[in-house]
Structure 1
Amino acid sequence: MSRTLWLKFSVFNFVLVALLGVIMRYKILFSLPFLDQKHLQEAHSHFAFYGWITNVLYVLMVIYLSKVRPEISLRKYNILIITNIIASYAMIATFIYGGYFWGSIAASTVALLTSFAFTFFFVIDVKNLREASKKWFLGGLFFAVISSAGVFNLAYMKSSGNITQDLYLASEYFFLHFQYNGFFIFACIGLLLYSLKEEGSLISEKENKLMFWLMFFGCLIGFGLSVLWLKLSMPVFALIILASLAQTYGAVMLFRIVRRSWTHLILKWSAVQRFVLIFAGFAFAVKILLQLASNVPAISQFAFGFRNVVIAYLHLVLLMCIATYLLSQVLATNFFIISRSLITGLKLFLAGIFLNELMLGMMGVFSIKYIAVPYANHFLLVFSVLIFVALFIIFVSMKKRQEA
């Protein structure tokens, strides 16, 4: 398949993620007795991670490779992308059918082993490359690999029936943390830095190295923020605080790099593309601030004690920040005609995400006093339909440029 088809297929997978989200929201309000909500949730989250985000990152990273190492063969990556897609669709079917059982565990294992193979080949192909984004892609893939420990432990506990609540939650958060704070965020930063480089905005090796290690250390140790309820010792807690401060400073460095590059972006990027970067950047800034605030035990207990807060935070990071930025990266490849209908779809998508996050945030805040927001689930259903329709408009509007 050509790069344009891979990218368009990735967006189609995003449409499916949104459709699963609509079904889940519908089932909260109305009866769908033939579908299990827990199984739907597991299918939705696994396909969002592997069918959409991981898949599009693979494709964008392969496009990056084709630019910096045009002499290498990409055939092995095409095979791995196809394998990941097959495993992702198998996850939809098996998780909806029976949740965690041998079928869904097998599909998840294939996706994880594919990530190991992708990492292996990518490391070899960029071995002698001197380029700023390289560190970030390798760092992201490192986190993708180690996150698998959480999944394997979850699968073992589910299949054996030997479930310890604390270990189960810790394993779940281990996987989630190193996927979205590790693989997804680091790979997105790699894509951003290369985009800036293409527009003539360079970053020094010293600055890049410092920013990378601050955020790498912050992510690695920062997993502790997800398990503060385990009553960690004071030295460990102090190390976690230091790590979150390091990641915050690394994020500040990244914002400074974007700010000083803004003149180049005004000249080279469209107004919509710049707005999407601000939109995703705002979500990333809120994520960093919330992460820093969670060092306060009372705030941490609140965050993990209310399901609405957890859902709002995950959507903030995965949907408003990562997914939005990746969608903009797909459109910024210049492989597609940026038509009026596509821009309309993108605007509706941003509006749907903002309204969805606003409602989830309100539900989280009001849940402090155990106050229910009137018709909240009805609004969330409407917003999820808006996101689905917007993504469908974007998908059908993605027409290939003749030169692509």
Structure 2
Amino acid sequence: MINLKRHTNIALGYFLIVGLLGVFLRLFFVTAIPANYRFIVHAHSHIALLGWVYIALATLIYKIYFAEAGKPAFYRRIFWFTNICILGMLCSFPFQGYALFSIIFSTLFLIASYFLAWFIFKNVPGHFKELASYKCIKAALWYMVFSSIGPWAIGGVMATLGKTSIWYKLSIYFYLHFQYNGWFILALIGVLFFLFERNKIRVPEQEFKRFFRLINGGIILSFFLSVLWTNPPFVFYILAAAGAVLQVLAFFKFFKILLASWKRLQFKLPPFTDMLLKICGILLVGKVLLQLLTAIPFFADLSFRYTDFVIGYLHWTFLGVISIGLFAFLKYFKLLKLPRPLFWIYFCGFVLSEVLIFYKGFSFWQRLPFLSQYASVLVGISALLPLSVGIVLINNIFSAEKRNFSG
């Protein structure tokens, strides 16, 4: 028997580290720090995606498909090997950036992720395989595998063309795009559809098929939004615009499916979980619209010139859509205790930091007066995120220990 609450706490532990590293990065603009900024960025981003989100999603998928079916031994080996890789990256990236040990642990992590996908494909009970939820999660796992072409390519690009080559950035953008838009978002959608199926609420088959075709077309073609900053041939602008439009159409269909049955699901959800999912949905709409804007060459160039817009978008997706979605599902499956006051502290930290990040980009773009204490204020606001996550983690750990002791 696998203790999925412990796995959730491990994922939260990584999220706490990510938040602390984020505050540490903000401090570079306040005071002199004897560390390499880029190295810390590498650690921050890798632990965010591969620690918090990856482990949390793997935990949810195991809960959905294997809590009753079993198969714990092989999964446990994959899980702990994965954590060794994550800890290896955490202990190497801050001190050497992309170098021997960090590359070794990153490579081993990719191999571990392939084993996770193989394990799920091979062992999911047959009665799940025709359901909408599994089709989304299966596609999400394939996008996870597909995204790894980016990291594999980085080594070759660094060895031949160097970090200044556009192919270096394109390899990173390829990885991030298919992680965020393919693996993370589509997996969360799959978990949401599972809630419908678990509560005997039918997702219309034809409507789902249309959504599924649109979302996959949108995910693939919208990657070309990430190449517009290179001023590519005109055909790439057409492909990027097509991807952005398909994304909009897909999520229009997605919300249409949800609205048709949400009231029935709402009665089966705890009120707080219902609210978290609604917040997540609103943020998802914002994400899609921001992505649509970058199909316009003017805004694509703007986001390249003022990187705060890109950082704001990535944080909007990661801290907002993805993390709040994970909070909602982990809470629904009773893997996470999330008191409302702590969530509102987290949410305030998220919203206020987003306002400041977008404000910086907008003020530089429009040559507006800039807040003199911007960096210090951003440090204080950013600290709300690890503060709230840390208290949630401590609360979860002590709650589990209390249950074990009383039992």
TM-score category of the 2 structures, normalised to the smaller one: over 0.9
Counterpart CA distance in 2 for 1:82 and 1:160 is 35
Task: Give the alignment partner of residue 369 of structure 1, picking from 330, 341, 366.
Answer: 366
* 2: CA distance, partners of 1:138 / 1:53: 17
Please name the residue that 2:5 is paired with: 4
CA separation in 2, counterparts of 1:52 and 1:143? 18
Counterpart residue type for residue 222 of structure 2:
G
Cα displacement string for residues 117-169 of structure 1 (whole angstroms, at most 9, x for unaligned residues) = 11112122238422111111111111111111111222333356734521111
Asked if 2 retains the 8 angstrom alpha-carbon contact of 1:39 and 1:99, the reply is: yes
TM-score by length of 2: 0.92
Cα distance in 1 between the residues matched to 2:63 and 2:167: 39
Are residues 79 and 262 of structure 1, via their aligned partners in 2, closer, same or farther at CA, if it must alter by over 3 Å?
A: same
Q: For 1:227-253, what per-residue CA distance to the aligned partner results, in whole angstroms no more than 9, with x for missing partners?
A: 013333334432332222111111112
**Residue type of the alignment partner of 2:360:** M
Consecutive unaligned residues in structure 2, runs of 5 or more: none
Letter in 2 for 1:333: F
Aligned to 1:118: 116
Q: CA deviation at 1:327?
A: 2.0
The CA deviation string for residues 27-82 of structure 1, in whole angstroms up to 9 with x for no partner, is 2212221x211111100000111111111111111111125xx3351321221121
Equivalent residue for 2:154? 154
What is the identity, as a one-letter code, of the residue corresponding to 1:217?
Answer: G
Separation (CA, whole Å) in 1 of partners of 2:336 and 2:143? 31
* Preserved contact between residue 83 and residue 114 of structure 1 (Cα < 8 Å): yes
Structure 2 counterpart of 1:289: 289
Aligned to 2:350: 353
Report SS of the residue matched to 2:267: helix
Counterpart residue type for residue 188 of structure 2: C
Q: What is the TM-score when the length of structure 1 is the normalising length?
A: 0.93
Equivalent residues, number:
398
8 Å contact from structure 1 (residues 362, 373) kept in 2: no
Corresponding residue number in structure 2 for 1:30: 31
Residue pair 2:8, 2:335 contacting (<8 A) in 1 also: no
CA contact (8 A) 1:51 1:88 kept: yes
Counterparts of residues 72-87 of structure 1 (less than 5 Å): 72-87=70-85
Equivalent residues of 2:133, 2:193 under 8 A apart: yes
Q: Give SS of 2:371's match.
A: coil
Structure 1 partner of 2:341: 344
Contact 1:62–1:74 (CA under 8 A) maintained in structure 2: no
Q: CA RMSD in A?
A: 2.1
CA distance in 2, matches of 1:127, 1:271: 31
Q: Which residue of 1 aligns with 2:140?
A: 140
Greater Cα offset, 209-218 or 122-131 = 122-131
AA paired with 1:379? Answer: V
| 1:19 lines up with 2:20 in the alignment | yes
Is contact 1:147–1:176 with CA below 8 Å preserved after alignment? yes
Aligned positions of 1:386-397 closer than 5 A: 386-397=384-395
- 2:173 matches 1:173: yes
- Provide the rounded CA distance (Å) in 2 between the counterparts of 1:93 and 1:231: 38
Greater mean deviation of Cα atoms: 155-164 or 135-144: 155-164
1:331 is displaced (CA, Å) by 1.6
DSSP 3-state at the match of 1:261: helix
Identical-residue share of aligned pairs (%): 26
Distance 2:373 2:258 in 1: 40
Secondary structure of 1:268's match?
coil
Matches within 5 A, 1:2-401: 2-33=3-34, 35-66=35-66, 70-126=68-124, 128=126, 129-158=129-158, 162-336=162-336, 342-371=339-368, 372-398=370-396, 399-400=399-400
- Cα separation, 2, equivalents of 1:337 and 1:178: 30
